[in-house]
Amino acid sequence: MEKKKLCLALYTGSVDKLTAAGVILSGAAADDMSVDIYVLLQAARAFRKDIGDDSDKLQMAENPNMKAEFLQSLKNLKVKTWVEFFKEAKEITDVKIHICGLAGKVWGGEKLDDFINIADDICGIGAYITSAQEADVNLFI
pLDDT at 2: 86
CB-side neighbour CA atoms (13 Å) of 35? 30
What pTM does this model have? 0.94
Total domain count, the chain: 1
Distance CA 26, CA 32 (A): 10
Q: Are 15 and 66 in contact (CB under 8 A)?
A: no
Residue 86: give its domain's CATH number: 3.40.1260.10
The tens place of each residue's pLDDT in the chain, 141 residues long, gives 789 999 999 999 999 999 999 999 999 999 999 999 999 999 999 999 999 989 889 999 888 899 999 999 999 999 999 999 999 999 999 999 999 999 999 999 999 999 999 999 999 999 999 999 999 999 999
- Give the Cα separation of 138 and 136 in Å (integer): 7
Could you tell me if 26 and 85 are in contact, meaning their C-beta atoms sit under 8 angstroms apart? yes
pLDDT of residue 56: 87
Q: Alpha helix locations (H) across the chain?
A: 15-30, 41-46, 67-76, 82-92, 101-106, 125-134
27 lies in which domain range? 5-140
